[in-house]
């Protein structure tokens, strides 16, 4: 008589990502596509504080649920924590999200919130330093290089533990738009891979 043994492995548990985004959503889409065929990690849902954010359209095309909540839901945190916990979200990924994450969400997802910043922190970080504001500041500074920083989110803007940085050269002839394009390429090439590596090392 043959006896079959079934072993249930924790590795079969799907790790769920929630992406917070406020704008175009190209990084969110890139991350979702990267994990589309991964049987261990997937983008479960996308959250935005902007009703007209194009990330909502990208989510529809990807077949991913998206949710709009006004600013006070994000800054209050309590309601959103319940929503995320009910959906069994494991990690929060900030991909062009412009609001500061409140302490109660940080505590509920301790060391499980990653942000990407379009400069080499600690330079060009802090409140108001996002998107083109950063690239214009880098251009004005005359720096010969810029890059991206992926870091764990803590209670201060852009001050969490740095997980990864990548650099690109800047020439005098580069406009801030040229700098932005170089940064976007670094983001697309690296952010999904770093997310995967970060989760695997946890």
Domain identity same for 20 and 99: yes
pLDDT of 3 over the 90 cut: no
Backbone phi and psi for residue 88, each to the nearest 5 degrees, phi listed first: 60, 45
Q: For a pLDDT cut of 90, what percent of the chain falls above it?
A: 89
Strand order across the 162-169 sheet: 65-68, 41-48, 15-20, 91-94, 113-117, 145-152, 162-169
Domain identity same for 27 and 104: yes
Beta-bridge partners for 147: 167
Inside any domain, residue 197: no
pLDDT digits (tens, 9 = 90+) for 183-200: 999 999 999 999 999 999
Domain identity same for 21 and 100: yes
For residue 57, the number of C-alpha atoms closer than 13 Å in the C-beta half-sphere is 6
Q: State pTM to two decimals.
A: 0.91
Task: Specify whether 151 is catalytic.
Answer: no
pLDDT of 7 over the 50 cut: no
Mean pLDDT over 124-151 rounds to 95
If one counts the domains in the chain, the total is: 2
Q: Which residue has the tokens 């175009």?
A: 24
Segments forming the whole domain that contains residue 162: 117-189
Chain-centroid distance, C-alpha 113: 8
Domain identity same for 160 and 179: yes
Inside any domain, residue 84: yes
Domain identity same for 160 and 78: no
Report residue 20's pLDDT band, with 50, 70 and 90 as the boundaries. very high
154: CATH: 3.40.50.170
pLDDT digits (tens, 9 = 90+) for 32-45: 999 999 999 999 99
pLDDT of 150 over the 50 cut: yes
Inside any domain, residue 1: no
pLDDT, position 12 = 60
Domain identity same for 55 and 138: no
Mean pLDDT over 67-74 rounds to 96
Q: List CB contacts of 33: < 8 A, sequence separation 6 or more.
A: 62
pLDDT of 6 over the 90 cut: no
Domain identity same for 25 and 105: yes
- Please state, rounded to an integer, the average pLDDT across all residues of the chain: 93
Boundary (domain end) residue, out of 110, 144, 159: 110
Boundary (domain end) residue, out of 95, 110, 125: 110
Given the residues 117, 135, 151, 156, select the one marked as catalytic. 117
Domain identity same for 86 and 144: no
Whole-number Cα distances in Å, 23 to 43, 52, 56, 131, 140: 17, 8, 9, 10, 25
Boundary (domain end) residue, out of 110, 126, 155: 110
């Amino acid at each position: 008589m043959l006896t079959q043994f079934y072993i249930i492995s924790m590795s079969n548990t799907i790790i769920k990502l929630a992406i917070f985004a406020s704008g175009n959503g190209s990084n969110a889409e890139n991350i979702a596509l990267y994990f589309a065929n991964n049987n261990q990690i997937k983008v479960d849902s996308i959250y935005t504080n902007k009703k007209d954010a194009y990330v909502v359209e990208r989510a529809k095309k990807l077949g991913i649920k998206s949710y709009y909540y006004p600013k006070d839901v994000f800054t209050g945190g309590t309601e959103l924590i319940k929503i995320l916990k009910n959906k069994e979200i494991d990690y929060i990924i900030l991909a062009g999200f412009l609001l500061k994450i409140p302490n109660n969400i940080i505590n509920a997802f301790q060391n499980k919130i990653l942000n990407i910043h379009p400069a080499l922190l600690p330079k060009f970080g802090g409140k108001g330093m996002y998107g083109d504001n950063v690239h214009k500041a880098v251009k004005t500074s005359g720096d010969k290089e810029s890059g991206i920083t992926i870091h764990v989110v803590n209670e201060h803007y852009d001050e969490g533990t740095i997980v990864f940085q990548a650099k690109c050269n800047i020439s005098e002839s580069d406009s801030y738009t040229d700098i932005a394009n170089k940064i976007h390429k670094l983001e697309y090439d690296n952010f999904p891979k770093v997310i995967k590596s970060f989760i695997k090392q946890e």
